[in-house]
Amino acid sequence: MKVVIPYRPRELQKMLHRDLSKNRFSMLVTHRRFGKTVLLVNHLIKAAMNFKRNDGRFYYIGPTYKQVKRMAWDYFLKYTKPIPNCRANENELKIDFPNGSRIYLVGSDRPDALDGVYSDMTVMDEYKSIKPSVLTQNVRPTLSDRKGTCIIATTPRRNHAHELWKQAAEMGWFCRTFRASETKLLDSIELSSMRKMMTNEEYEQEMECSWEGTSLGAYYAKLLQEARTQGRIRPIGYTGGTVDTFWD
């Protein structure tokens, strides 16, 4: 039976779905209103529907239980409604699929819900607001025995999210950044209006995915961003000899 859900991904999202399906670990840094939550919801639904075994387990994790219910639950209901014999349980925030797969929605403020379970795919939305221990102590062990997939998505904040971003590339994860000036998902008039209302640091953080911009009020944030844009901050190969460092 062919099932059609009411999701029409943009070309950028289609490409991203393909890339995410090819990688076990991924991290996405996106601008506001990119549509990452809808993308993550539908990626989970497709994975659950197409899972070959009859006991697939999939998890959507957000900062808190209340946020998860507000941010994502209605999307899950909307996009699974056309699927025959698909049952949603709002009390437990879970969706059962006719092939035996199940999706749970979990708030990171209740990490014990992940103890003693396995996961075939977990997505973590707004990772900047999730304690890093939830990933390392709760999520990562659930992926081990069945080689589960993990997708982490966030807007920037210079905290543990930035540290993971730097480590992810070194660990060989699939990593992508999507800036408003590059995706063109919001028109120039809207972006111009936002830029006038927001501070430069706020705009760079929320719309241009700048890690420097997240240190609101930091004296050097703008200068550092300009230096990176101009190529004045970059890796330089060490060829031997004395290296001088200067600390302020």
pLDDT score recorded for residue 229: 74
pLDDT score recorded for residue 153: 98
Q: Which residues contact 163 (CB under 8 A, 6 or more apart)?
A: 132
Structure-token match 């991290």, residue found: 27
Mean pLDDT, rounded, for 62-72: 96
Q: At what angle do helices 11-21 and 36-49 cross, to 10 degrees?
A: 50
CA distance 115 to 109: 13
Q: Where are the alpha helices (DSSP H) in 63-148?
A: 65-68, 74-80, 132-133, 140-142
Q: 162-171: list long-range contacts, CB under 8 Å, 24+ apart.
A: 162/211, 162/214, 163/132, 164/27, 164/127, 164/132, 164/135, 165/27, 165/29, 165/211, 168/25, 168/27, 171/25
Mean pLDDT, rounded, for 232-243: 78
pLDDT score recorded for residue 230: 82
| Share of residues in the chain with pLDDT > 70 (%) | 94
**HEC profile of 172-202:** CCEEEEECHHHHCCCCHHHHHHHHHHCCHHH
Mean pLDDT, rounded, for 229-248: 79
Closest to 127 in 3D by CA, of 37, 200, 208:
37
What angle is formed at CA 214 by the lines to CA 212 and CA 219, rounded to 5 degrees? 60
| CB 7 within 8 Å of CB 40 | no
Label the pairing between strands 94-96 and 102-107.
antiparallel
Split at pLDDT 50, 70, 90, the class of 22 is very high
pLDDT score recorded for residue 227: 79
Length of the chain: 248
Task: Tell me the sheet residues that pair with 104.
Answer: 59, 94
pLDDT score recorded for residue 175: 97
Q: What 3-state DSSP class applies to 87?
A: strand
Split at pLDDT 50, 70, 90, the class of 80 is very high
Give per-residue pLDDT as tens, 195-214: 999 999 899 999 999 987 55
Mean pLDDT, rounded, for 71-99: 97
Q: H or E element: which one contains 8? A: none
Sheet holding 57-62, edge to edge: 87-89, 94-96, 102-107, 57-62, 121-125, 149-154, 25-30, 174-178
pLDDT score recorded for residue 212: 78
